[in-house]
A and B are shown apart, each in its own frame.
Chain A
Amino acid sequence: MTMQQTDRDAALFQASRPMRILRRVAGGDGIISFAILIAILLSWQAAVSLLDVPAFILPAPTEVLAWLIRGFSAAPDDPVSFWPHLGVTLWEALVGFVAGVIVGVLLGFALAHWPRAERIFYPYIQAFNGLPKIAIAPLMVVWLGFGLEPKIWMAAILVFFPMMINAMAGYHSVDPDRIDLARACNATRTQIFFKIIVPSSLPFLFAGLHMASVLAILGAIVGEFVGATRGLGMLLLQYNNNMQMGGVFALLIVLGALGYGLNLLMQLAERKYCFWARRSKTFGH
């Protein structure tokens, strides 16, 4: 009896194991998403070759793939190589990201800590946040030239706002009981800040970081659009002007992957440092 039972359990276990792994990899509905992607690519390819669409309007997926392969396999000093441009854009986005996060979080906490300052500066923050910040990119070029600085500034400015606003929201959302707990232990103001307020705000900060990771790349690209000699945005604009749509599509894919990768990095960091927060407490991605 028991033997049979065990055998059956083992068989069940073996049958379900590959399914479970598949499910974990594909995330259940992932299979459907993947099937849709394949369907789109196939019909795209078919449409392009059947309807004879000119390559300067819509390149075939195979052509885009060829551009991607060429971009990544060519030697870095080859003009078609993506590598040096990728490095430049990534650097601009990264520096802007770090600067924007640091300044945004510090200022957000400071404003939330001093309500008077918050009241005084709030109208300015609202007004500037309402401004489509991309519109200041040309100004940045006039002020800072065609080097990396205007791109870094654009990335930093775009990153700054969600970080500041989330830091303020995080500070204000701290449960007063937690502060009382620390005060009851005779905690100093510094201790209350670092041991209660900062960790309590982490879910909000991560919500900001998710947005910021995408905005940093956006800022760098916009900066390059306005005037640059290097970078993925510059390259994209150049291919676009030359009607080399295969290159444009290939770069769009690279940029998408870049944003996705940065966001994934944020998610990993969140899972490591903010594992305790309920999912529903975060927002913004």
Chain B
Amino acid sequence: MNAVATPLYPEDRTSAPKTAAADPLITCRSLNKVYKTRSGDAVDALVDLNFDIAKGEFISVVGPSGCGKSTLLKIMAGLLDYTSGDIAISGKAVTGPSPQNGLVFQQPNLLPWKTIAENVYFPVEIQQGRRAVNMTLVRELMSMVGLKGFEGKYPHELSGGMQQRAAIVRALVQDPAVLLMDEPFGALDAMTRDMMNVELLKIWSKHRKTVIFITHSIPEAVFLSDRVIAMTPRPGEIAEIIPIDLPRPRPLDVVNTPEFGAYAKRLRRLLNANEDIAG
């Protein structure tokens, strides 16, 4: 739909940006979120978040359970109101859902009464009607993630990994500028997860999306990201934003290098330290 504007990086993504660009795609300033519970209490979910994300960056968000990662993602997706602060994508304040975001949930979240192809083009069907569906594009996207031939199958006929791949291409079907992913591979086994990570990096470098990727897994965050946002336990604050300066493309065995180990160790220390403070 919305054509990708001039890329910020050269075709080969050999070097990742180490700091936010001067002209960021996403800006977040003193963002706060307070939940009102049913009993009337206020729960501080996010406290004073500040960060910039450049176009084309791969950003991971890690942090302990309940620190507000999903809350942050839902705010970015325009699905949730924030209490105070500013958040803007492409210079426009986030006020509601937008087709420039593609959303991937923790569960595949496919509609079980629709075929895989129907699920993939569901966003197009909703926004432009069934007539606007470009089946060639749908088939192309599906074969890109190895789902060729599964167009007419139903979700329950696919494995968890295949379902999540379908969910990813569903998020891509409208060619969004930003891909928002909430622990998309959390429910998968380690081997499938590795495979999906490699596949995701391929999609990312091919389509030049900006990705916000939430995960519990420190190695996953280091492997995928240009920068990792580490959050403190509840109430969620940013502990540190760590640039990951590993060369790309990254083969799977980059995890065995000392540099990778150093990043993982640093992040683990950071998260554990905050855990101790909270505990």
Contacts and interface: CB of A to CB of B under 8 A. Distances in A.
Chains A and B bind each other: yes
B111 A199 contact: yes
24 contacts: A175-B109, A177-B109, A178-B109, A180-B74, A180-B79, A181-B105, A182-B126, A183-B79, A184-B78, A184-B101, A184-B103, A185-B126, A186-B96, A186-B98, A186-B126, A186-B127, A195-B126, A196-B111, A199-B111, A276-B112, A276-B113, A276-B154, A276-B155, A276-B156
B123 A185 contact: yes
Given A180-B74, A180-B79, A191-B126, A185 B97 contact: yes
A136 interface: no
Interface in A135-185: 175, 177-178, 180-185
A199 B114 CA distance: 10
Contacts of A185: 97, 99, 122-123, 126-127
Interface of A: 175, 177-178, 180-187, 191, 195-196, 199, 202, 274-277
B97 A183 contact: yes
B50 interface: no
A202 B113 CA distance: 10
Interface of B: 74, 77-79, 96-99, 101, 103, 105, 107, 109, 111-113, 122-123, 126-127, 154-156
Contacts of B99: 185-186
A202 B79 CA distance: 26
Contacts of B103: 180-181, 184
A186 B97 contact: yes
Contacts of B96: 186
Contacts of A177: 105, 107, 109
B110 to A, nearest CB: 9
Q: Which of A177, A202, A274, A275 has the most CB of B within 10 A?
A: A177
Contacts of B77: 180, 184
A178 B113 CA distance: 13
B129 to A, nearest CB: 11
A183 B80 CA distance: 11
Contacts of B126: 182, 185-187, 191, 195
B224 to A, nearest CB: 22
Contacts of B97: 183-186
A196 B155 CA distance: 16
Contacts of A182: 126
Nearest to A199: B113
A196 B154 CA distance: 16
Given A191-B126, A195-B126, A184 B79 contact: yes
Select the residue from A177, A178, A182, A185 with max chain B CB neighbours within 10 A.
A185
